[in-house]
A = this chain, B = another copy of it.
Amino acid sequence: MTHLPKRVSITEVGLRDGLQIEPRILSTEEKLSLARALIDAGHTSLEVTSFVSPTRVPQLADAAELLAALRGTPGVELKALVPNVRGAERAIAAQADVLVFVLSATDSHGARNLNRSPLESLSELRGIVAQALAAGIRIDASISVAFGCPFEGDVPVERVIGLASDVQQLGISRVTFCDTTGMATPRHVQALAQALRDKMPDVDPAFHIHNTRGLGLVCVLVALQKGITRFESSVGGLGGCPFAPNAAGNVCTEDMVYMFHEMGIETGLHLDRLLEAAHLAERLVGHRLEGQVLKSGPRLSLRGHDA
């Protein structure tokens, strides 16, 4: 395992991607306590909310209030999803640091999940880019079902790269490739990472992997071996898979950080404090989360010499 990157950066998505599937609506104060615990653990990039319709996702109805409360935390980048031009206006007014726009790689998933085809999403994105530019705010893009679509099956790498290229031509350089329903495998991860290196050297990619079929950290490792250094994950593994109610969702931040640290790769995060944040997340949502280190503790803290 020579030639691995020495450092990775992680965007914590638990507050948005994790919470949005949770039935218990957290108060803004509760979300703030979790956000502060995550920042205290060293996080400098948080996807905090989404400016979707509050009737569609009641959990995120306090998007502006949450951003206002967190605004101005030194050295911390607050990201907000914007589904459309209207959401972007609200996010800009709320002074998000970064807007994130999601496009689907397939027509079927786009129609069902975003109510838009990839082409229609690109058109909407064009308007948002103009808004962001005028406001002096960065905008990143996320491509859903980049490693497979639950409706269409395999998604050709060429299609994903083509969409990323369209996005890049709108002036966006940071693109997240999302394993929306946990269909990524080592081969898919390798193929996409290789294509990105070969064909899109100017894009700064992040991989957002799910653990729905148990391969979450395997795919992260394979991505790392192919030079990917930006990842998205969720505290405690918060968030599930809407298509498979009992399955895991996002890769768990602490488990991923545990893996990186045990490989000598820096994350800038404190594992012990991440575990505290994950325990807090469990209390807030009212049920156990998927994180494994959360249940067992780090490897050298399991039993003392006198246990």
Contacts and interface: CB of A to CB of B under 8 A. Distances in A.
A181 interface: yes
Nearest to A109: B303
The number of times this chain is found in the oligomer is 2
A150 B151 CA distance: 45
Contacts of A215: 217, 255, 258-259, 262
Contact of A213 (B108, B154, B183, B296): B296
A103 to B, nearest CB: 20
Nearest to A246: B295
Given A181-B302, A263-B186, A296 B218 contact: no
B214 A151 contact: no
Contacts of A255: 213-215
A136 interface: no
Interface stretch (A6-14, A50-58, A74-82, A285-293): A285-293
Interface in A10-41: none
A65 interface: no
A79 to B, nearest CB: 25
A92 B163 CA distance: 64
Nearest to A263: B186
Given A1-B190, A263-B186, A288-B246, A213 B298 contact: yes
Interface string A124-154: 0000000000000000000000001011111
A274 to B, nearest CB: 13
Contact of A151 (B154, B243, B298, B305): B305
Contacts of A303: 150-151, 243
A150 B148 CA distance: 40
Nearest to A147: B299
A302 B187 contact: no
Interface residues of A toward B: which range? 35 or more
Contacts of A93: none
A262 B185 contact: yes
Contact of A214 (B187, B217, B243, B246): B217
A186 B307 contact: no
Contacts of A252: 214
Interface in A173-187: 181-183, 185-187
Interface string A226-250: 0000000000000001011011100
23 contacts: A1-B190, A150-B302, A150-B307, A151-B303, A153-B300, A182-B296, A185-B259, A187-B262, A187-B264, A212-B292, A212-B296, A213-B292, A214-B217, A214-B258, A214-B259, A214-B292, A214-B293, A218-B259, A243-B302, A244-B302, A246-B288, A247-B295, A248-B292
